Amino acid sequence: MSDTHAQTVTYVRESMLPQQEPPALERGAIKWIRENLFSGVLSSVLTILSIYVIWTVLAGIIPWLANSVWGTASLTECREVLAERGLTSHDGACFSVLNDRWHQLVFGYYPSNLYWRPILALLLFLGGLAPILFPNLPRQMLILTGIAPLACFWLIWGGSVWTPIVIALGFFVGYAAHKFFLQLAGNLAAVIGAIVLPLIFWLLVAGPLSGTLQDLIPLGIQFVESRSIGGFLLALVIGLSAIVLSLPLGILLALARQSNLPIIKYSAVTFIEVIRGIPLIVWLFTAQLLLNYFLPPGTNFDLTLRVIIMVTFFSSAYIAEVIRGGLAALPKGQYEAADALGLDYWKSMRLIILPQALKISIPGIVNTFIGLFKDTTLVLFIGLFDPLGIASAIRATTDWNGIYWELFVFIGVLFFIFCFSMGRYSLYLEKKLQREHR
């Protein structure tokens, strides 16, 4: 048997082979290129075409950037410098316009000696937003979160210090109304009272009260008119204000649309469908021309504030539908579990339903915010000097008449930085919530 067995076994390993590197085609960059760029005939053709397109674009852009001019005072001088180099006006970028007019592109016509105010306002806003975006930060920073919105408003526009204080008082009116009606008539009346009474206070009482306090104790800083606010500062004011205000309003509209009370449900449905069914540019013209007619007599809202209100309404309608999708995606068992725990409606929404719905809705919400921030450029059509409006004004001057791409490249980079940051935070938050769920 042993001889037969010895004849059937052709090879017996007596020692392990030493460890070797994998073949060159099966590791590193070569493997990635082969699998992702040249995995087949179609993939190879598309890769070659893409490389050709990228090369063609870069071959035109890189020399244009490399031959850029930064130190001249006009487009004519810039072209003279390019001519001295033996180049045409299309062979080099005249970024001197940015060196000369960057402050207008960023701040509009805001007084130059007061630039510190919008910069401080932006820092306060980011500081107030930080504990919400990153929960690991100290909870004491939430005090800054509550102060930041009104402080930013006061820093940018200036005027009486009593105005933001009286506006803040309106929130205490809402809180007191909620407590009072909760004991008197129940949850629904408390919610309605907490919304309606502050609005009445702000529309009818806040203005006269602020004026009276200013007469008694004059405190304030230099007032800046809204027409002086322009450029990227205006885009930030409108975009960030609408983003901050539209999220809670969108949540309330989404919950109202799923309410069992017909009045609340159909009011929310009507609001959402009417707002979504009309283009934003039409609502901006409405804010410019008609919104004052719907306000109490004697009320005169600044145009920028009217635009913020209308853009907030427009964004909240889209946010409401995004969140409603998140609510619809939750299994029915989550609602039944909340009822089984004995939680009332608001506690079940706050502790169980909304956290899960918002997690599902994060990509849609951030996508809506990015679109909203870019759509702030539409205010150009109602006479506000956003970055594109400022660029047109610069191009209309004798010094820079004819400049084109350099201004729009700068504006595009600014918008890209903010939109890309929002997108990256969205990815960070999604990954963080997925890890915590596991």
Ordered by start, the domain boundaries in the chain are 160-221
Q: How far apart are CA 123 and CA 116, in angstroms?
A: 10
Structure tokens at 101: 């007019």
Q: What is the dihedral of CA 284, 290, 294, 298, to 10 degrees?
A: 110
Convert the pLDDT of each residue in 97-114 to its tens digit. Answer: 998 889 999 999 999 999
Q: Is 302 left (phi over 0), alpha (psi -120 to 50) or beta?
A: beta
Q: Following DSSP, what letter does each residue of 192-239 receive, concatenated?
A: HHHHHHHHHIIIIIHHHHHHHHHHHS--EE----GGGB-HHHHHHHHH
Average pLDDT over residues 328-346: 79
H/E run at residue 160 = strand 159-160
Q: In this predicted structure, what is the pLDDT of residue 54? A: 93
Q: In this predicted structure, what is the pLDDT of residue 139? A: 79
Q: In this predicted structure, what is the pLDDT of residue 262? A: 86
Convert the pLDDT of each residue in 294-325 to its tens digit. Answer: 665 655 677 888 899 899 999 999 999 999 88
> Which positions ≥6 away from 99 have C-beta within 8 Å?
70, 71
Structure tokens at 317: 């309608």
pTM: 0.83
Convert the pLDDT of each residue in 170-208 to its tens digit. Answer: 888 888 888 888 777 777 778 788 888 888 888 888 888
- What values do phi and psi take at 208, rounded to 5? -60, -40
Residues 39-61 as b/e (b if ≥16 CB within 10 A, e otherwise) read: eeeeeeeeeeeeeeeeeeeeeee
Structure tokens at 176: 């007191």
Can you tell me whether residue 110 is helix, strand or coil?
Answer: coil
Tokens 């306000």 locate to 295
Instruction: Note whether 250 and 318 are within 8 A (CB).
Output: yes
Q: How far apart are CA 377 and CA 405, in angstroms?
A: 17
Instruction: Note whether 259 and 265 are within 8 A (CB).
Output: yes
Query: Residue 203 CB: number of other CB atoms within 10 A?
Result: 14
